[in-house]
Amino acid sequence: MSKRTRLIPLLCTLLTVGGITSIRLVDTLHAQENTLPAETGDLSNASTVEVKEASGAVVLSGHLVEVPEDDDDLERKAELTGSGTSAKATGLVEVEVSKTNNRLDQEVEVSVSNLTPGATYAVFIDGRQLGTFQTNKAGSGKLELDTPTVKTP
């Protein structure tokens, strides 16, 4: 087997790994990351999630339910379903709450699809707006929010 023949499988492997990595990087770059507003409060008992378009109309909604965790963190998830003109839209929201040493850390991840491409949407939990995101040309969008560590009462 020549040296060139042996390099072909190696080159193919490198190109495949590089391609997958670049796809993941592009996907990551489209996710918008922000800090949760200070007035968000403790999301441990949050129940209702809504995604609203700029006009204020609800396009996706769902209810958070607790999901068993292996660690001491509390995790709640909601499957979002669309309505009206956004009936085919879907989404998923994950809320993770960690309380250690009188400190509260929270993370909210939102992922949606089948919405209007290039539009801006706002995420609400229990009526409080947490942040906004813009959909890509395929109508998908992501938003990742977290809090700086704060003392619990």
Residue spans of alpha helices (H) in 2-67: 3-30
Indicate whether 87 and 131 sit together in one domain. yes
Distance CA 83, CA 60 (A): 7
Do 111 and 122 have their domain in common? yes
The verdict on 102 and 143 lying in the same domain is yes
Query: So what's the pLDDT on residue 71?
Result: 75
Looking at the fold, whether 55 and 109 belong to one and the same domain comes out as: yes
If asked whether residues 84 and 146 sit together in one domain, one would say: yes
Burial of 60: CB neighbours in 10 Å, binned 0-12, 13-18, 19+: buried
Range of the domain at 127: 32-151
Instruction: Give pLDDT, residue 36.
Output: 87
Identify whether residues 47 and 80 lie together within a single domain. yes
Same domain, 22 and 48: no
Q: Which residues of 74-94 are buried (b: 16+ CB within 10 A; e: fewer)?
A: bbbbbebebeeebeebbbebb
Claim to verify: residue 23 and residue 73 sit in the same structural domain = no
Residue 51 has pLDDT above 90, yes or no: yes
User: What pTM did the predictor assign?
Assistant: 0.74
